[in-house]
A and B are shown apart, each in its own frame.
Chain A
Amino acid sequence: MKTITPYLLRFAVTITVLTIIFRYFLSYGIENQLKTIIVACSITYGLLMFISGFYFGRKDGEYLPIYDVGFRFHLTTYLIHNGISLLWIGLGFGAIHENIDTSIMIALYWGFFLLIHFIFFLWAKKNSINNLDKEDLFE
């Protein structure tokens, strides 16, 4: 079953680049205690992530309308953001004041919400055939 679509892959590449850039500026801001950089890069990152999700999500729906209530995009974001964050700090690229425990806690809290989203995904799956909405299958 094809659930890893070209647009999901393009989204994954885009947010990987965005997250690495974000991590760099965040660590730089924390290291040098520059609040403006920390706030600016966080807001920019949040906005760009939202725009990427919106754009690629819409394109993905036009390509193949997989009925997953956005779960694949959420899971991809979760894996990439937390994976890069943990590796960034784990490999020693983080600022002195950055603690890996904080990133682990973020991954755990976020994981809880991801789990709730997964339950919604399972519920939506009941109304689908091969992950496509039963009501919108034939045109």
Chain B
Amino acid sequence: MIMLSVILIITGVFFFFTATFGLLRFPDFYSRLQATGKGDTLGSLLVLAGLALYNLSNGISLASVLVSVKLLLIAVFIFIANPTATHALTRAGQDAGVEPWTKEDKTR
């Protein structure tokens, strides 16, 4: 059980890593949002699932199950809030007239 939760957390951290790496590498505002806004959702889901499993490994009782349910509910709220925030940011960028980077202009 602990092994499984460690694997989940490490995979989650890997997705956080790619999200941050993408934020640094990608060329413009929109594609940077692509990397961060999304890598975070799966990353946080995996980390929270790993923590919920780890919490259960000390023995299953009503209290520990409730704590795990709460951890998973955090993931649910992130899944609702994160795309909304990402959408609001892109929309704001669009309204402010930020030009999206395309393959043709290679200048950064």
A binds B: no
